Structure 1
């Protein structure tokens, strides 16, 4: 009997490789592998997809697909869309790379930077009046970290609110 396994086209294989790699990178920007793979799937799709299509393509459960689709909508990386003649929910990804970057930056700031800032400020306030050398050193470190995180937060705010046409050339001058 002959092997009837379908052969992927070069485009299909490249897309599959990208989806897998985007999934692997997901944890670096604060999301799970499946969420990143769903994002990559919809980002590279030429048409909106429904939950069933995402489930089938990625071989994931309905609950996993639904939870991650909702989360991606919350991040601003996907948007629900209507498909004429269909009752199912369909989703499409933001395809503008700059808008994706800004959405990820805003969400990471909200989830990571703001809670870290709150802890640093709290630790600095609680140790501000302590007189031991260790407490003074700890307080100094908390204040220095808070200052640094505050600057990083301001940069993230400016980038995520900026227009690409203004920020990219300025960044290239600084880092070029």
Structure 2
């Protein structure tokens, strides 16, 4: 950092390191490895895009590890690949809108879960309804089927609700229900 005393730079780096480590540790909530979380934290404080070589040097990790981590972050829309005039290397920067990052991450993960679970639930529901229709006279069987069918219908209702929640995140309507906080103009 140019123009800043060594003592001030040390204080800034200490504060940044604390935040980077916190981000890295919290990323496991999202199923992201600590090293990829630390990479995201490192990139958060950059004021310009970074190449894989720069990331590897800053984190003292191999280019292969950086490539794997950055691919994960790009797939989750947490990092964007950017083009810079005169550079032949791929460069990346953090998505600065954490609200959007959160929404994108959960939309991707939840949408997949909703689709998989609804597919399984609907297939099972169909099979149980078919079994029920074939054996209407078997009361014990019908009791079991009614109970399972009710549970499956409750689960389907939940996943349909979750699908609507995902839609509100995707469209941005969620921010009408839970508005974003505005960044204060003054320093804390």
1:111 alignment partner in structure 2: 112
Whether 1:86 aligns to 2:87 is yes
Distance 2:127 2:82 in 1: 49
Contact 1:80 1:91 in 2 (8 A): yes
Distance 2:145 2:174 in 1: 44
Distance 1:30 1:112 in 2: 14
1:92 partner SS: strand
Structure 2, gaps ≥5 residues long: 1-5, 133-140, 181-188
Whether 1:27 aligns to 2:37 is no
Whether 1:134 aligns to 2:135 is no
What is the CA distance between 1:49 and its match in structure 2?
1.0
Larger Rg: 2
- CA gap of 1:121–1:59, structure 2 versus 1, over 3 A, is farther
Contact 1:72 1:78 in 2 (8 A): yes
Structure 1, gaps ≥5 residues long: 1-5, 171-176
1:129 partner SS: helix
What is the CA distance between 1:144 and its match in structure 2?
0.5
1:147 alignment partner in structure 2: 157
What is the CA distance between 1:169 and its match in structure 2?
4.0
Count residues with an aligned counterpart.
165
> Aligned-residue CA RMSD in angstroms?
2.6
Task: Give TM-score scaled by structure 2 length.
Answer: 0.74
